[in-house]
């Protein structure tokens, strides 16, 4: 229990478990409050970049998810309309082409056909990163 005095007059009482058993003046309480506010401000400033990164990641994930949903919904719509759009013989031909596409095709090793007077410069290949 804290007894609050301002200007030598009793103003009221307050319960503060942190300060239990000690006497605190109005100025000490103000200094403690100011120190606590400064610590809170520092913590807030340190948390800003982390909070911004988390929000960016969430925003990116929402965009990616909505794009995936949109693509799957479009695919579902096309699948439902496929019978209406294509006659049976066209659908069969599309299925054959799709089967051909899914087969694994290997390419022969590339060999440069450079002329002796013009040297071959091998360019670096950039790999696409997967997301």
Domain count, the chain: 1
Residue 30, domain member (yes or no): yes
CB of 3 within 8 A of CB of 13? yes
The pLDDT value recorded for residue 107 is 76
Domain contains 70: yes
pLDDT at 18: 67
**Residue at 92 is within a domain:** yes
| 50 inside domain | yes
In a domain, 54, yes or no: yes
Range of the domain at 90: 26-100
- Give buried/exposed letters for 108-126 (b at 16+ CB in 10 A, else e): eeeeeeeeeeeeeeeeeee
Confirm whether 121 is domain-assigned: no
Q: Which residue has the tokens 């605190």?
A: 24
Chain position carrying tokens 């401000």: 41
Q: Would 88 be classed as within a structural domain?
A: yes
To the question of pTM greater than 0.75 for the whole model, the response is: no
* Cβ atoms within 10 Å of 14's Cβ, excluding its own: 11
- Residue 63 inside a domain? The answer is yes
Spans of the chain below 50 pLDDT = none
Instruction: Encode pLDDT of 94-118 as tens digits.
Output: 888 887 776 666 777 877 666 767 7
For Cα atoms 65, 103, 80, give the angle at the middle one, nearest 5 degrees: 45
Taken in order 66, 68, 71, 77, is the CA torsion positive or negative? negative
Q: According to the model, what pLDDT value does residue 7 have? A: 80
What is the rounded CA–CA span in Å between residue 129 and residue 36? 46
Closest CA to 33 of 20, 47, 16: 16
């Amino acid at each position: 229990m804290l007894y609050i005095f301002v200007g030598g007059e009793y103003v009221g009482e307050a319960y503060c478990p942190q300060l239990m058993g000690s006497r605190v003046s109005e100025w000490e309480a103000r200094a403690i409050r100011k120190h606590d506010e400064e610590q809170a401000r520092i913590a807030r400033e340190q948390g800003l970049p982390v909070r911004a990164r988390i929000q960016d990641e969430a925003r990116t994930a929402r965009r990616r998810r909505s794009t995936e949903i949109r693509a799957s919904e479009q695919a579902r719509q096309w699948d439902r309309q496929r019978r209406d759009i294509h006659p049976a013989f066209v659908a069969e031909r599309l299925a054959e082409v799709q089967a051909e596409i899914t087969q694994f095709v290997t390419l022969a090793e590339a060999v440069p056909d450079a002329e002796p007077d013009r040297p071959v410069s091998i360019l670096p290949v950039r790999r696409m990163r997967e997301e």
